[in-house]
Amino acid sequence: MQQFILDYGWAAIFVLMLAESACIPIPSEVTMLLGGALAGGAVAGAHPNLIAVIAAGTLGNVAGSYVAWLAGRYGGRPALHRWGKFVLLRTEEIDRAQDWFVHRGASSVFWGRLLPGIRTFISLPAGIAAMPPVRFGTYTLAGCLPWTGALAIAGYAVGANWHTVEDAIRGPSYLIAAIAALAIAVTVVVAIHRRRRNSSELGTKTLPE
């Protein structure tokens, strides 16, 4: 991601933030912090302008949010449950965003943008509920701007010390990755075992008397 942003500047930030808001799991925290750090001189040579980084991130978020809104508006909840797995969109994430929207109404599009986890998926229930596109865009822009701005400014403040921070978190990152890999492996084993057991039970029930 660092090389991608270095090579293409604000355009890369726009694409990454668009993908994140379109429910593709690319964390905006990494994109915007890194973009801000590069603007602050994290690496030698040319670096993007901080204002351009914030603007690109915000506009990318808004554009990607409309992609998700359209998916919810014209695909509906059944289609999202059926096809979401192909973009790593889990059923519980759709349900959680839907519940958040139902309980808080249109304002959840604004407040949801400030909450990790919810912010990526809040556009889907807004689309399912056929929230007017202009109103949706206004709430989305109002929520995305402080989020992207705060992250970029935090990265900018780190600036040239980015690699020091990167080195400091590398060890814990490896540990987290190892734990995540173990959790995935256990989940797969349990799922396979459960499927085999269900198949065995089904076969037993269907045997002729």
When the pLDDT of each residue in the chain is averaged and rounded to a whole number, the result is: 75
**What does the alpha-carbon distance between residue 28 and residue 190 come to, in Å, rounded to a whole number?**
32
Q: Among candidates 116, 123, 74, which has minimal Cα distance to 98?
A: 123
Angle among Cα 183, 187, 188 to the nearest 5 degrees reads 120
Neighbouring residues of 65: CB distance < 8 A, sequence distance ≥ 6: 21, 22, 123, 136, 137, 140, 144
DSSP codes, 126-141: HHHTT--HHHHHHHHH
Classify residue 174 by burial, with Cβ atoms within 10 Å: 0-12, 13-18, 19+. Answer: exposed
Place of tokens 């519940």: 99
Lowest mean pLDDT among 65-69, 178-182, 202-206: 202-206
Q: How far apart are CA 57 and CA 201, in angstroms?
A: 52
120-156 per-position pLDDT tens digit? 777 887 888 778 889 889 989 998 899 999 999 988 8
Residue owning tokens 């994430």: 93
The residue behind tokens 């930030």 is 13
Q: What local confidence, expressed as pLDDT, does residue 89 receive?
A: 58
Confidence of residue 46 (pLDDT cuts 50, 70, 90): low
**% of the chain exceeding 90 in pLDDT:** 15
